[in-house]
A and B are shown apart, each in its own frame.
Chain A
């Protein structure tokens, strides 16, 4: 980006507006639709502006990990589908999808969102495994926050399949929901010069200098952080960005 192009953006930000007319701390319209799929154990479609992601929960039974014999397991995977963005290519997940998956995973794991002890069927032998896959349909920026929101919404929607002690009958869903203790949400704050904006569009993401994804529990406790972008942040920057994240997380939580 040339100096002049950047000055032009700053001219906007100084007046407190962005290229699409939003305020700096304003999200695009958010929509959360739970249960779009009858085949997944839980599912949710989330849109933030033109960005749209699907998340689906699949459950199965497996042997627990030796170090947590009485806890179920959880995994989050993000597939950056080439359908959603002209720059995504088919093939194994690249670093971008791995990063989103791991950040969302940390938010769920470290907040203790899922009570994994309640996923234990028989200690040391059988536990439930929960895998949440996220697939963007349209990437117009901020896949971080959209993915995090979709994952929690899909977990809320999930119902255990029926299990008779031997086999799972996936066709029969029980009325039992997943044991959820916390509902963490993610707010990604972008820094351009000395301005902070939330919910970047794809166009804005291309101009990111530094980024901080803040995952927050209902009471404002932080449960995951990820600094991104090429430029460093000062301690003051971080404090401001975390503050914005905590504030915005209250709005986002309303959609769950």
Chain B
């Protein structure tokens, strides 16, 4: 009979024994050694039926096709741009994937200059970690003005919340424009004092994301800071 050696939502360190026997299956962040399942990184235990996986708590952004990210122009090449995407690797945007048609002899800095930030979408990640991004989606654009903060990319799902509930709550309370990139880069635009509230709220989520009752705590925090009554939208 298989036996679980850890509880759901506990923090484990590399090499820790998670389960014995063959009843459980090793998923992301774990591996099997004979009849045991072990942790192959530090993280938060997540048990789904027979699957045992470890959610990351730290580490750089792992690029995935389909993700919308915020990227910073670091270099301009003959036929495109390279970007810092807060990951272990940089990304490439080819002129063909830009929003508009760009002539061969065009000055590419007119579109995106070094230091500019854009929201963009990852279209391809090769086994050698070459990353292609595209702007071919109406919602993708250059981010003018505002400010950028970097957060732990593993906390992004909590910052966004279920169907965007957390970030909407922050937006409504502070009247700031906020775009959260899957890569942990966040763009904020609003009144100075409100932007500071946004930053402090996001830092609090980042620190306490793995502890239950987060939404309620954030609501209280925002109410105190903004002197507004906030209702939490119920998300199924």
Contacts and interface: CB of A to CB of B under 8 A. Distances in A.
Contacts of A20: 196, 199
A12 interface: yes
Nearest to A7: B145
Interface in B176-197: 189, 192-193, 195-196
User: Which of B146, B193, B196 is packed against the most chain A CB atoms within 10 Å?
Assistant: B196
Interface in A1-32: 1-2, 4-5, 7-9, 11-12, 15, 17, 19-21
B196 A21 contact: yes
A2 B192 contact: no
Given A7-B145, A8-B147, A19-B147, A2 B196 contact: no
Interface extent on B, as a size class? Answer: 10 to 19
A2 B113 CA distance: 9
A212 B97 CA distance: 45
Contacts of B196: 17, 19-21
Contacts, number: 34
Interface residues of A, number: 14
Given A8-B146, A8-B147, A19-B147, A1 B115 contact: yes
B145 A17 contact: no
Nearest to B193: A17
A14 to B, nearest CB: 9
Interface in B143-160: 144-147
B222 to A, nearest CB: 15
Interface in B119-153: 144-147
A8 B199 CA distance: 15
B115 A15 contact: no
Interface in A80-103: none
B204 to A, nearest CB: 14
B116 interface: yes
Contacts of A19: 147, 195-196, 199
B79 to A, nearest CB: 23
A210 B193 CA distance: 26
Nearest to B144: A4
Interface of B: 113, 115-116, 144-147, 189, 192-193, 195-196, 199-200
Given A19-B147, A19-B199, A20-B196, 6 more contacts: A2-B113, A8-B145, A9-B147, A17-B192, A17-B196, A19-B196
Interface of A: 1-2, 4-5, 7-9, 11-12, 15, 17, 19-21
> Ordered nearest first, which 6 A-B pairs have the shortest CB separation?
A4-B145, A21-B196, A4-B144, A12-B192, A8-B145, A15-B192
22 contacts: A1-B115, A2-B113, A2-B115, A2-B116, A4-B145, A4-B146, A5-B115, A5-B146, A5-B147, A8-B146, A8-B189, A9-B147, A11-B192, A15-B192, A15-B193, A17-B192, A17-B193, A17-B196, A19-B147, A19-B195, A19-B199, A21-B196
